[in-house]
Amino acid sequence: MAKVHKVGEPDSEALRLTIGMLKDKLPDDYIIFHNLETISPAGFAYEIDLLVIAPHAVFVIEEKNYTGHIRGNAREWKMFNGAVFPSPLPSINRKTRIVATQLKTFDPSLEKVYCHALVHLSSAKAKLKIYDPQVGQITVGEQLVRYLTTPARLPVPDCDTTRLREKICGAVLAGFEPAQPERQIGPYDIIEQLHSTPEYTEYLAEHRYLEIESRTRLKVYHVDIYQSAEKRERQLRLIFRDMHAIKKLASHPNIVRASDIFPGGNDTFVLPTEWVDGYSLRGLYSTGNKPERGNLADIFRQICTGLVYAHQHGVIHRDLRPENIIVCDNGTVKLINFDFARIADIRIETIATQIEGQLDQRYTAPEVLASPAAASERSDLYSVGIMFYEALVGQTPYRSPRELLSHREFDWSVTADCTDDPAGTNELLRALCSFSPESRLASAGQAAAAFSSLRQ
């Protein structure tokens, strides 16, 4: 029987049952800590469901009470009921790296302790079809016990923690606090933490009083109160930028809807946005179910239709990439994440310098790489062209436009294997992705019409 240390209270009945299973079925030389919270070197809190010290490794485990048939990829998982959540593997990998750093910081002799990330689905009824190289790090039901007791599953099966167990426990007790997960934010009950960055955390939530469209995505921005008053004011203006852009565009079906931002307590601001069941375009690429060519052209037609409305209202997205395009189950396409948008009636002098280096260079127009303030409607069209090329070929044409700035051209040569109309497709790609903004299509409306022609 394993030893259990309760750091915090189990936050679900499923986790409570998993802890009981591990306590009863793991050998005596296993130690279980549960419901911990630690602070990363950057100062952000991370919750850990389970930390298991085995004789051959330290396991950091994320518990999920998902059930039924689950399909997905390295970025997103789609549940049997159509709901789509971010894959929990990137999050638990990040937490595992933080745990390893905490151990080494507590005592340098713990540097060689191998820390291994796992995602555990407590329901034995969960059936997985996940296209992810790390799918082997997912266990279902009692598979978890077999995984934890089989050193050969790990890339370093000869790691011996037996002599270091006392120091490892000391590091955990010294560096971790009881987890205090968010359960309510304003009028919303938290269902699931979806995603976390140094700037914000996203949650799936339900409104306690509104039954129509009760499920909501909450984007909780963190304010650094230790900055100067000037920098805090600038940060708040940037936080409100996303809401301002979405509120200007709230009535269009191809742009995610948002409610008013509100203070969330503990130096946070909360932006409720429409919950959309569907894959991001990035996730759609990775599902193994690539859209048919006609459907793909329609996806990009809808992207451009949303951009027409945004551009008419003075909003340049400036961060168009597959992660920021959602394809709903009913085929509707939504543009999301306007954090870096350029908005005609808002001027923040430092926005250009603050977003420089944060944009994904693979999808960023050359003039925006040179100066984010130079973003225009045609810059968004460049990003659309790169995404379309990637959807057809399976990869972006280059890692960064900087690689080809000296050439000022690219040989757009999509073949018949990728499209029914190679000549028309290549002509459209050239019109979208010219290195010179003046040589691109003049408007998103023209691009939408071109994608409609491709579809037909």
pLDDT in tens, 80-107: 777 788 899 988 998 999 999 999 999 9
3-state SS assignment for residue 68: coil
The per-residue pLDDT for 361 is 84
3-state SS assignment for residue 38: strand
The per-residue pLDDT for 244 is 77
The Cα–Cα gap between 392 and 208 comes to 43
**Between 285 and 55, residue with greater pLDDT:** 55
The pTM of the full predicted model, rounded to 2 decimals, is 0.74
The per-residue pLDDT for 192 is 80
Angle, CA of 182, 14 and 2, to the nearest 5°: 105
The Cα–Cα gap between 258 and 341 comes to 15
pLDDT higher than 60, residue 116: yes
Token readout for 312 is 């008419």
- Residues 438, 379 contacting (CB under 8 angstroms): no
Alpha carbon of 297 to those of 59, 155, 421, 451: distances in Å? 45, 43, 12, 5
- Domain 184-274 in CATH 3.40.50.170? The answer is no
Token readout for 213 is 């469209």
pLDDT higher than 90, residue 229: no
Q: Where are the domains of the chain?
A: 3-178, 184-274, 279-455
Angle, CA of 109, 110 and 112, to the nearest 5°: 100
**Between 195 and 361, residue with greater pLDDT:** 361
The Cα–Cα gap between 54 and 60 comes to 11
The Cα–Cα gap between 90 and 95 comes to 9
The per-residue pLDDT for 403 is 67
User: What CATH code would you report for 279-455?
Assistant: 1.10.510.10
Alpha carbon of 139 to those of 134, 298, 434: distances in Å? 11, 38, 47
The per-residue pLDDT for 300 is 95
pLDDT band at 402 (very low <50, low <70, confident <90, very high): low
The per-residue pLDDT for 406 is 59
The Cα–Cα gap between 214 and 205 comes to 8
Asked whether this chain's domains 184-274 and 279-455 adopt the same fold, the reply is no
Alpha carbon of 18 to those of 13, 23, 173: distances in Å? 9, 9, 22
The per-residue pLDDT for 349 is 44
> Across all residues in the chain, what is the average pLDDT?
85
Start-to-end CA distance of the chain, whole Å, equals 66
